Amino acid sequence: MGELKGLPNLGPVLEGELARAGITTREQLYALGSREAWLRLYTADPTACLHRLLALEGAVQGVRKADLPPETKAELKAFFKAAAGKCAHRKAQGGHRLEAGGNVCFD
């Protein structure tokens, strides 16, 4: 690890989660964007929360998550609710996978 070190909001725990999701470099994170990166985390760990999504967006933009514009936070909150809600039926069954581009379950 260490490729993501120094980005805002990314400590060793989140860096490790990203690595387990196959995201190990800044370039990969930037190319995927916060939403896609979060979906990969969420697919592996359904406890991935809104704060992780905000942290990822801040890392991509180079700012602390608290400094994200209110509109960005609102968009990410709506995305989070939609993505998490589409997989709620799978959580009860012990697992789920998301289709990355469409944010829908495909199990």
- pLDDT score at 45: 87
Residues 18-39 have pLDDT tens digits of 999 999 999 999 999 999 999 9
- pLDDT score at 88: 54
Q: With a cut of 70, say whether residue 100 has pLDDT above it.
A: no
Residues 52-94 have pLDDT tens digits of 999 999 999 999 999 999 999 999 999 999 988 776 545 555 5
* For residues 34-57, average pLDDT: 94
Q: Which residue has the tokens 């990203």?
A: 18
- pLDDT score at 107: 37
Q: What is the pTM of this model?
A: 0.80
**Nearest-angstrom CA–CA distance, 16 and 31:** 18
Report in angstroms the alpha-carbon separations of 102 from 3, 46, 68, 106: 28, 17, 24, 10
